[in-house]
Amino acid sequence: MKTTNKKVIAWLDEMSAMTKPDSIVWIDGSEAQLEELRAEACATGEMIKLNQEKLPGCYYHRTAENDVARVEDRTFICTPTKEEAGPVNNWMAPDEMYAKLKKLYDGSMVGRTMYVIPYSMGPVGSPFSKIGIELTDSIYVVLNMAIMTRIGDKVLEALGEDGDFVKCLHAKKDVNPEERYIVQFPQDSTIWSINSAYGGNVLLGKKCFALRIASYLGMQEGWMAEHMLILGLENPQGEVKYICAAFPSACGKTNLAMLIPPEYLKEKGYKVWTVGDDISWLRIGADGRLYAINPEAGFFGVAPGTSEKTNFNALEATKKNTIFTNVAINNDDNTVWWEGLDKNPPENATEWKGAKVNGKEYTAAGNKLAHPNSRFTAPAINCPCISSEFENPQGVPISAIVFGGRRAKTAPLVYQARDWEHGVFVGATMASETTAAAAGAVGVVRRDPMAMKPFVGYNMADYFGHWLEMGKKMDADKAPKIFHVNWFRQDDEGNFMWPGFGDNMRVLLWILDRCEGKVGATESEIGYLPDMADIDVTNLDISEDVLKELLTVDKNVWLEDVADQKEYFAQFGDRLPAEIAKQLGILEGNLKK
C-alpha cells in the first residue's frame, strides 16, 4: 500500500471489492511509469503514436461513436433532498442512486487493471488546493489526468495520514449510453462515472470535481468555484491586472484567455498572459481582495476552429506532449487535422470514426473529418503566453469579473454593473443564443447563469445567494468590478458588428480603466455604458454609427428579455434571493420609465 491514510485504504478496499479488478496499479507521477502506459495503450490500439519529429510526445485516441461529449441528461446531483439540487439539475436520492450504480459497477473491472490516481486541483500545497483520488480502468484517463492535473506520490504526501479527498470512481464498462451515469454526491465528496470514456465525463478532476463538487465545498467553506478563464493584462509600464471571465460554450473563451493584442497595442507594449482557460477557484485574501487560481494544469480544448490565425497560442500549446481525441489523422505524415486548422484537408486521411477517406473529396461533399467536439489535451506550460503566476500558490488578485454571452440584439458591446449586487444579477441573467446564420434571424435563448447551468453542484438559487454573501465580505473598493460583454452583436443583415478576437482587448482596456477610475461612463437603464470616445478604436475599420449602435440599449428588446428572465427565475420559487427579485424590479422599472 502506498499510503497509511486509513480513509484511502478503506475506500479503495470497498471500491475494489465491488469492481473486482485483476490488479491495482498506483500512479506515482513518474515519467517512466507514464511512458510504460503509453506503450501499453499503443500496443492494444487504445492510442496511436503520432509523428514524433513533428509532434514529439503526442498521441491520438478515438472514442466510441456514441461517446463524444458531456452528457447533461445523464448527469446527476444526488443531494439528500431534491430541493438541495434545485430545479436546473437532475436529481435522484443518494441511496437509490448508489443502489442502482452498485449493480452496474459490480464486477465491471474483471479482467482489467484498476489505476489509482492521486491528484491535486491547484498547485500541491497551495491553500486553495484540494486533493482527489480517481480510480479508473482506462489508461487514456490516466494519461489525460497526468496533463490536466498534478498527480502522483507528491499528492499522497500532501494528503498525509488523515487528509480528506474527493472520492472519484470511473469504470468504462461497455460504454453503453443507456446505462451511462455521471453522478455527483456533494455531501459525500464522491463522484461516480460509468459507461463513458470521453473527456468531460471521465476526467473527474475537471467539471465533476473542480466545478460541481467544488462549488458545493465553496458554498460551505466561503469560497467560489467558477466556470471562468483568468487572464493578466500587462500595460506598457509592466503592471499586470487580472480579469476573470465566464462565458457559455461556443463564445470563444479559450481564444479570449490567450488573446493576442492588435498590432498597434502590441507595439505600445501591451501583453496578455494566460492563467487559466476554463475554471477559477476564488478566495478572499488577507488584504480583502479576491484572489484566483486555475485549479487545472492543462487545456482540454475544442480543436475545430483552432488555427494559427484564431488562436496561435493554443495551437502552439498542442505541438508537444499532447493527446488528441477524435480529430482526423493525416496519413501522409502521421499528424493531425481538423476543420478550421487550414484550408487544406489531407487527401490521405482517416476521419474521426476511423475510416480511410480522401479528405478533400470527403469535406467537399459536406462531411466533417474531425468530430465538431474533438479535443486536444495540452499541458498549460506549453502555452507561449502562460502567466509567470500560473503556479503561484497564493493566486492572482482579480480586478474585474466579466460575464458574457452570444446575443444578436440585446446586450451592448460592454456595460458595467452598478455594484456587486447588481453584478450578481447581471451574471444570473446571463444567456446565449444558438447561432443563427440567416439574415436578421435570432437564435433560441438559453439562460445560463454565470455559465454554470451544467456545473452548479447545488440549488442555483442558493448559489446566487452565495455570490451575494461573498460580496458582503468584501469592501466595495476592494471587490472586483463586474461587467458584461457581447462580442456577437449583429446588424439587421445578420453581420457581426464588432471584429472580435484580438480587438476584444480594446474592451478589456476600457474595463481596466473603469476599475482604476481613469474614465467616466454614462448611467443607463441596465448599468454604466462607455462614453464612445473612451473605447480605443485606433486603426479599426469601424464607423461612429456602428460603434454607437453597439453601445445602444433597445428598451423593447430588453423588456422581452426581462419577461424571459422572470419566467426563468420563477422556477426557484421562494428560494430566489430577495436581492435578485429586487434587481429584476429595478431593471424593469428603468426600462418602463
Residues lying near ligand OXD in the complex (CB under 6 A): 70, 200, 249, 278
For ligand OXD, which is the closer residue by CB, 138 or 325?
325
What string of DSSP letters covers 79-91? -SSHHHH-TTSB-
For ligand OXD, which is the closer residue by CB, 200 or 449?
200
- Helix (H) or strand (E) holding 34, with range, is helix 31-44
For ligand OXD, which is the closer residue by CB, 70 or 447?
70
- Contacting residues for 98 by C-beta, under 8 A, at least 6 apart: 185
Helix, coil or strand: residue 400 = strand
Partner in contact with 51, chosen from ligand OXD, Mn ion, none, beta carbon below 5 to 8 Å by kind: none
Partner in contact with 113, chosen from Mn ion, ligand OXD, none, beta carbon below 5 to 8 Å by kind: none
* DSSP-derived secondary structure letter, 350: E
Partner in contact with 226, chosen from ligand OXD, Mn ion, none, beta carbon below 5 to 8 Å by kind: none
CB of 455 to ligand OXD, least distance (A): 8
What is the rounded distance in angstroms from the CA atom of residue 415 to the CA atom of residue 397?
22
CB of 431 to ligand OXD, least distance (A): 16
Task: Report the amino acid identity of residue 125.
Answer: G
- Strand order, beta sheet including 335-337: 335-337, 328-330, 348-350, 356-358
- Contacting residues for 10 by C-beta, under 8 A, at least 6 apart: none
Strand partners, 246: 228, 403
Residue 254: closest CA among 338, 326, 311 = 311
Partner in contact with 447, chosen from Mn ion, ligand OXD, none, beta carbon below 5 to 8 Å by kind: none
Partner in contact with 200, chosen from ligand OXD, Mn ion, none, beta carbon below 5 to 8 Å by kind: ligand OXD
Task: Report the amino acid identity of residue 546.
Answer: V
Phi, psi of 164 (to 5 degrees): -95, 155
What is the rounded distance in angstroms from the CA atom of residue 275 to the CA atom of residue 240?
12
For Mn ion, which is the closer residue by CB, 137 or 277?
277
Cβ atoms of 89 and 81 closer than 8 Å:
no
CB of 229 to ligand OXD, least distance (A): 10
For Mn ion, which is the closer residue by CB, 291 or 300?
300
Partner in contact with 172, chosen from ligand OXD, Mn ion, none, beta carbon below 5 to 8 Å by kind: none
Q: Catalytic residue positions?
A: 251
Q: Strands 166-171, 190-194: parallel, antiparallel or unpaired by DSSP? A: parallel
CB of 103 to ligand OXD, least distance (A): 30
CB of 249 to ligand OXD, least distance (A): 5
Cβ atoms of 529 and 551 closer than 8 Å:
yes
- Contacting residues for 157 by C-beta, under 8 A, at least 6 apart: none
What is the rounded distance in angstroms from the CA atom of residue 93 to the CA atom of residue 88?
16
For ligand OXD, which is the closer residue by CB, 70 or 112?
70
CB of 57 to ligand OXD, least distance (A): 23
- Residues forming contacts to Mn ion in the complex (CB under 5 A) are 278
CB of 404 to Mn ion, least distance (A): 13
For ligand OXD, which is the closer residue by CB, 274 or 416?
274
Q: Strands 113-121, 150-151: parallel, antiparallel or unpaired by DSSP? A: antiparallel
Task: Report the amino acid identity of residue 2.
Answer: K
- Contacting residues for 300 by C-beta, under 8 A, at least 6 apart: 144, 148, 199, 200, 203, 206, 278, 375, 376, 377
Strand partners, 281: 225, 293
Q: Strands 323-325, 59-61: parallel, antiparallel or unpaired by DSSP? A: parallel
Partner in contact with 433, chosen from Mn ion, ligand OXD, none, beta carbon below 5 to 8 Å by kind: none
Burial class (CB in 10 A: 0-12, 13-18, 19+), 470: buried
- Can you read off the three cell numbers belonging to residue 473? 465580505
For Mn ion, which is the closer residue by CB, 278 or 296?
278
- Can you read off the three cell numbers belonging to residue 46? 487504445
Which residue number places its CB atom closest to Mn ion?
Answer: 278
Partner in contact with 351, chosen from Mn ion, ligand OXD, none, beta carbon below 5 to 8 Å by kind: none
- Helix (H) or strand (E) holding 264, with range, is helix 263-268
CB of 165 to ligand OXD, least distance (A): 23
CB of 486 to ligand OXD, least distance (A): 19
Place of cell 485606433: 538
For Mn ion, which is the closer residue by CB, 67 or 278?
278
